[in-house]
Chain A
Amino acid sequence: MSPANTPTHAGRSELFLLDAERTTWHDETLWFVRQKRDKAVYATPEFQALRQLASDIKDHTLSRLAEYLEQFEAAALANGVRVHWAADAAEHNRLVLDIVRAAGASRVVKSKSMLTEECHLNPHLLANGVEVIDSDLGERIIQLRDEAPSHVVLPAIHLKKEDVGETFWQHLGTEKGLTDPQQLTEAARQHLREKFLAAEVAISGVNFAIAETGSVVVCTNEGNADLAIGLARVHIACLGMEKLLPRLSDLAVFTRLLTRSATGQPITTFTSHFTKPLPGREMHVVIVDNGRSKQLGRPDFRASLKCIRCGACMNTCPVYRRSGGHSYDFTIPGPIGAILSPNIDMRKHASLPFASTLCGSCTDVCPVKIDIHAQLYKWRQVLAAEGMLPASKQWSMKLLSRVLARPALFKAGGAVARLGLRFVPHGLTHAPGYNPWAIARELPAAPKQSFRAWYAQQPDHV
């Protein structure tokens, strides 16, 4: 069974975990990134104050989002930028295709953008005869493999260099068995250079949009967005509407937090501000809602829109590290994806808020202080209320509640369970088909006496 046909996170992770060595490698690779983040954080004494400030700025912005969006639009228009509004993914894709067609273009390069992944822009452009090439190295690798990103910052983190060598051998004609990262990168560089030079339109995502200046800010380590935008006649920036910041001076707070949280770097190699088109060129900004207004209208989950897509919650999540990004079957994987996805399709993603032990590490690394684990807990309550838990779980919890509110029933039930554990054969109590606990674990050795029975026998306690 392929991961796509498995309806729950648990099922998809089981498939991932079948390869124990690869799971170890995946866990250790991401833990290494988490450790780099820790070093950068420990070396920045004001880091916790910065987190609070960033959180406050985002809360404020979301509380007046409509005003800031209008301010942004007015400033961008004054700069000669064309601004478009898309209510959903389909409208976004249509608008982008219209701009490409109006430019008479058929070759597009795209730098990293989780929003265009979310909208499935690539298949739409390809189906309409437009060549679109992802220019971020990780994105290009998974594009060649026809896969979705498995991480927001490290889209190909599920792949080893051997996998990349295989992919490049198939698609770029490199020598078979090539695994040297430097040679592989050089092959990608040569291949992408041609595409950069030929592209007529450059599409980018947006990390931050500044309401007072109408600028969009794009952060990359590879400079691929800059090269593409510098060369192409038309730049289309695809902007999720929650990415607004009120003032240019607010930006510094976020550039200091973004890469320290993501990879432990002090700042991205390139932090580029795009404010107005060069003479003879076009710059477009497509502002996308696609469910964001709905999430803004959910008080318990509104804060999820503060996310700046650093990926720190993925790197730290002990579940993500051992199940891989594809196990979430949503554009944004990991803990943040698990609180964003039910807003988009509650039934499809009903298992994601349960793909967590609620350990809280995600909340503690989040640079904008989203209470991720608290929202996971709250989504579980919403999903249960909407009848989206498996029937067995809903009924067993009802029954459990009856027992636990009645001490006599609890006492009797406990005695039966302990007797069962002591006298029913091990093969039955530990049958993996009936008892998922026992697939890898022994049940507790049942004592003859419960604590309450022991206590009742103590003469000085009765």
Chain B
Amino acid sequence: MKVALFVPCYVDQFYPQVAIAALQLLQKLGVRAAFPKQQTCCGQPMANSGCEQEARPVYHHFVDTFQDYDYVVGPAGSCVYHVRKHFDIIDQTPAVQHVRQATLELFDFITQVLGVTELPGAYPHKVGLHLSCHSQRGLHQANESELTPVRDGQLRRLLVKLGGLELTELDRNDECCGFGGTFCVSEAAISARMGQDRLADHLRHGTQVLTGGDMSCLMHLEGLVRRRQLPLRVRHAAEIFNEAFA
């Protein structure tokens, strides 16, 4: 099984520890993922701004980079969703079709492909889970409150099985954090307010460590946490599982 690690552009530049954790976690699960170094980005920033035509060369570059791998695994639901959903505007060659279908979010790969439903170790903290909308409503990794009262999802299941971990229950389990790609600067005021409201929900329920599967939401929330010096640590779920997996 040839597996490539897809490291989103902003993770590569600003959160290398998240990609390192993903790489090491996969290694502990017996998967040696390669990092094709010509990779850059999935093109979502352009497409969400209305410029998907401008993103075509980026889409082709992504496919060229990853077409020889069986799986392309990324620690970012939103970028993975973009590849799977929105690479439909370029010619659907066998390579494009293969890459779209082989690109998986890290925890989808771990649970669906590797069949791992429990990760070892302990993490004795009160952890709050932030569901990324693209992971949840796009990739269907978690139940949606619009459809059912049952709060379930693969990341939630994996987290609660860690020793000593207490998951905080929020008033609003799956409200958007307000990142939204370029929305975070073009509608900066609403974006910040949405993020502050999410953080308030976590603080109200005792979250000490805020986690999730999508570093883009977490980058926005971490920026708000640091500005207000809130008593919260923000860590990608890959970091938590990698640390717990001694």
Q: Which residues of A does B touch, CB under 8 Å?
A: 9-10, 13-14, 17, 23, 27, 31, 38, 41-42, 48, 316, 318-319, 322-323, 354-361, 363-365, 377, 380-385, 389, 393-394, 397-398, 400-407, 410, 414, 417-418, 436-437, 439-447, 449-456, 461
Interface of chain B, main secondary structure: helix
Interface pair A361/B137, CB less than 8 Å apart? yes
A461 vs B189: C-alpha distance when bound (angstroms): 43
Residue A444 contacts which of B15, B148, B187 (CB distance < 8 angstroms)? B15
Of chain A, the residue at the smallest CB distance from B15 is: A444
Residue B14 contacts which of A41, A380, A389, A446 (CB distance < 8 angstroms)? A446
Q: How many whole Å from B144's CB to the nearest CB in chain A? A: 6
Q: Mark B19-54, 1 if CB is under 8 A from A, else 0.
A: 110010000000000110111110101111111111
- With contacts A418-B13, A451-B11 known, is A318 near B178, CB below 8 A? yes
Contacts of A454 in B (CB 8 A): 16, 20
Stretch at the interface among B66-74, B122-130, B153-161, B191-199: B191-199
Of chain A, the residue at the smallest CB distance from B179 is: A357
Of chain B, the residue at the smallest CB distance from A441 is: B223
Q: How many whole Å from A383's CB to the nearest CB in chain B? A: 6
Report the interface size class on chain B.
Answer: 35 or more
Assess whether B57 is interfacial by the CB under 8 Å rule. Answer: yes
Interface pair B12/A444, CB less than 8 Å apart? no
A414 vs B149: C-alpha distance when bound (angstroms): 43
Interface pair B187/A10, CB less than 8 Å apart? yes
Interface pair B185/A404, CB less than 8 Å apart? no
Interface pair A401/B46, CB less than 8 Å apart? yes
- With contacts A27-B197, A380-B49 known, is A444 near B61, CB below 8 A? no
Contacts of B213 in A (CB 8 A): none
Interface of chain A, main secondary structure: helix
Interface pair A451/B187, CB less than 8 Å apart? no
A7 vs B15: C-alpha distance when bound (angstroms): 37
Interface pair B186/A10, CB less than 8 Å apart? yes
Of chain B, the residue at the smallest CB distance from A432 is: B188
- With contacts A418-B13, A461-B35 known, is A410 near B41, CB below 8 A? yes
- With contacts A10-B189, A405-B58 known, is A357 near B137, CB below 8 A? no
- With contacts A38-B145, A405-B40, A455-B35 known, is A441 near B53, CB below 8 A? no
List the 8 closest pairs (A to B, CB-CB), nearest first: A357-B180, A441-B223, A384-B50, A440-B192, A380-B50, A364-B146, A359-B176, A451-B16
Contacts of A318 in B (CB 8 A): 175-176, 178, 194
Residue B40 contacts which of A358, A385, A404 (CB distance < 8 angstroms)? A404
Of chain A, the residue at the smallest CB distance from B150 is: A42
Q: How many whole Å from B234's CB to the nearest CB in chain A? A: 11
Residue B51 contacts which of A9, A316, A322, A384 (CB distance < 8 angstroms)? A384
A439 vs B190: C-alpha distance when bound (angstroms): 12
7 other A-B residue contacts (CB within 8 Å) besides A318-B175, A318-B178, A322-B190: A13-B189, A17-B193, A318-B194, A357-B178, A405-B40, A437-B184, A444-B219
A357 vs B217: C-alpha distance when bound (angstroms): 11
Assess whether B183 is interfacial by the CB under 8 Å rule. Answer: yes
A140 vs B222: C-alpha distance when bound (angstroms): 45
A401 vs B60: C-alpha distance when bound (angstroms): 12
Q: How many whole Å from B245's CB to the nearest CB in chain A? A: 19
Residue A17 contacts which of B34, B147, B190 (CB distance < 8 angstroms)? B190
Interface pair B188/A10, CB less than 8 Å apart? yes
Q: Mark B194-234, 1 if CB is under 8 A from A, else 0.
A: 11110000000000000000000001101110110000000
Interface pair A441/B227, CB less than 8 Å apart? yes
Q: How many whole Å from A91's CB to the nearest CB in chain B? A: 34
A363 vs B53: C-alpha distance when bound (angstroms): 25
Interface pair B179/A441, CB less than 8 Å apart? no
A310 vs B154: C-alpha distance when bound (angstroms): 33
Interface pair B149/A360, CB less than 8 Å apart? no
A279 vs B39: C-alpha distance when bound (angstroms): 77
Q: How many whole Å from B198's CB to the nearest CB in chain A? A: 9
Interface pair A449/B16, CB less than 8 Å apart? yes
Interface pair A381/B58, CB less than 8 Å apart? no
A165 vs B177: C-alpha distance when bound (angstroms): 35
Q: How many whole Å from A352's CB to the nearest CB in chain B? A: 11
A364 vs B138: C-alpha distance when bound (angstroms): 11
A10 vs B178: C-alpha distance when bound (angstroms): 13
A417 vs B15: C-alpha distance when bound (angstroms): 13
* Residue of B46, B180, B183, B187 with most partner-chain A CB within 10 A: B187
Residue A319 contacts which of B45, B57, B145, B187 (CB distance < 8 angstroms)? B187
A427 vs B20: C-alpha distance when bound (angstroms): 31
Residue B35 contacts which of A27, A316, A319, A452 (CB distance < 8 angstroms)? A452
Q: How many whole Å from B111's CB to the nearest CB in chain A? A: 22
A52 vs B161: C-alpha distance when bound (angstroms): 37
Interface pair B149/A440, CB less than 8 Å apart? no
Assess whether B80 is interfacial by the CB under 8 Å rule. Answer: no
Of chain B, the residue at the smallest CB distance from A312 is: B146
Assess whether B9 is interfacial by the CB under 8 Å rule. Answer: yes
- With contacts A27-B197, A38-B149 known, is A397 near B51, CB below 8 A? yes
